[in-house]
Amino acid sequence: MSGVGRFLRLLKQRFIGRGSEYVGIDHFGNKYYRIPQHKTWAGQNIKERRIVKALNLKEHQYESGAIPTEWEAWMKKRRNNPPTLEECIQNMNYRKEMRAKVEDLGEKTKLLQDKEGLEVGPLQTQITGHASASSYGKPERSEDPVSTANTFQPGAWMPPDRKK
């Protein structure tokens, strides 16, 4: 290929992109593209890339949940084929049903607690072991280091005062 042809191809790739193919759109309005596997002019294999062009979002504004889970699985190559519109609608309806069931269960639990006079408060955990001891078995601190590696007690030694 001549130098002019390479230059024109480079300009096309730089400004238009490397032949991205439109794959689909989600209910948020995000558009999904893929760049198929290809070889460079030097013979290097470039793997398939999957791209999302988010509606009204820049890359630094992305939040978790801005892309539906079906499309996110396709983007991360956990699935080979992009999700269909029917699949996305079915999963969205399933999520709505689950959310309604959880709210209903929460209301039933609250009514049962009110009826039986049960009150659920925060759980208290009891600290046991060496962390619960206030002074690790030594009532007063000494100025001389007396512990060895086998009997080391944290906080058992204080440096001497330098005010002499």
Q: What is the residue-level pLDDT of the chain in tens, covering all 164 positions?
A: 577 877 777 766 655 556 788 898 888 888 899 988 877 777 788 788 888 888 777 766 767 677 888 888 998 889 999 998 889 889 889 999 999 999 999 898 888 888 877 766 666 666 665 555 555 555 555 555 555 566 666 666 677 777 65
Q: From CA 17, how far away is CA 31, in angstroms rounded?
A: 15
Task: Say whether pTM exceeds 0.75.
Answer: no
Enumerate residues 6+ apart whose C-beta is below 8 A from 20.
33, 34, 35, 51
* Per-residue three-class SS string for 87-144: HHHHHHHHHHHHHHHHHHHHHHHHHHHHHHCCCCCCCCCCCCCHHHCCCCCCCCCECC
Domain definitions of the chain by residue range: 12-82, 84-117
